[in-house]
Amino acid sequence: MHIKDSLLQLGLNKNEAAVYLTLLTLGLSQAGPLVKTTKLHRMLVYNALDRLMDEGLVSVLHKKNIKLFQVTDPGALLERTQRLNALASDLLPQLRKIQEQKPHVVNVRTLVGPEGFRTNLKEIVESAGRQKKRLMYIIGGAKDTDFYDALGDWYPQYLALLEKHEVEKFLLAPASFSSVFKKKFAAEPDTHLRTLPQGLSSPTYTRITEDMVAIEIYHPEIVIIQIRNKAIARGYLDSFQLLWQVQAKT
């Protein structure tokens, strides 16, 4: 990928990226050479410089009443993205709270691969943690080893996340695929496991909270389908509770 394209993906606009790269090449420079090299209007160059200075990507020196501009350490780009990530993380709960006030809205999202798998676990554990009872319900027919193989070395972080949000888990699994669950899952804090001899044939696991459903597909690759809607989540919860009660009577 071209450097300019990467800068655009990092949030700079075309003018800012052009001025930044030109200034990086020129070194300490007045605005005039930037205007000449970028072929942008002088006002556009100054607007870009002002924005780049606000972001800490460019600094200005004054020498005999002449403004000289230079690019700061390029590491400032990373610091900028870290600030944006922190801002987005702080803003996300507020945005979701506003969205949840509209119960008819259905938000569907697909995540793939190990990174998507971990992202989904973080988000659904956080979803459970936001609820008053802090409960997560899990149902499905995939192999127990599929889940723990997908977790891999991230297993301790997953347990720490559950502990942080004080989430209690209820799992319904097929009896034929529950030996690892009985060893690992049952040993985890705040867990409840019941197995069914038949009826759980789908090769997936579905995690459910009061406002979110996540369907995990493990083969041929990891694919997660997230559904954010309280009414849909309620339907999944009703199905889970029905099966949980049926198992209790058998």
Q: What is the pLDDT along the chain (250 residues), one digit of tens a residue?
A: 588 888 888 889 999 999 999 999 999 999 999 999 999 999 999 999 999 999 899 999 988 888 999 999 988 888 888 888 888 888 888 887 776 666 667 889 999 999 999 999 999 999 999 999 999 999 988 888 999 999 999 999 999 999 999 999 999 988 887 788 888 888 888 999 998 887 677 889 999 999 999 999 999 999 999 999 988 999 999 999 988 987 654 4
- CATH architecture under which domain 102-249 falls: 2-Layer Sandwich (3.30)
Other CB atoms within 10 Å distance of the CB of residue 177: 19
- One-letter amino acid at 223 equals V
* Length of the chain in terms of residues written: 250
Quote the tokens at residue 224.
């997660």
3-class SS at 59?
Answer: strand
Domains 3-76 and 102-249 share a fold: no
Indicate the domain borders of the chain.
3-76, 102-249
Judge whether 44 and 15 are in contact, CB under 8 Å: yes
**Domain spanning 3-76 has what CATH number?**
1.10.10.10
Strand ranges (E), the chain: 58-63, 66-71, 107-112, 135-140, 168-174, 191-196, 204-208, 212-217, 223-228
Distance CA 229, CA 109 (A): 12
Strand ranges (E), 92-141: 107-112, 135-140
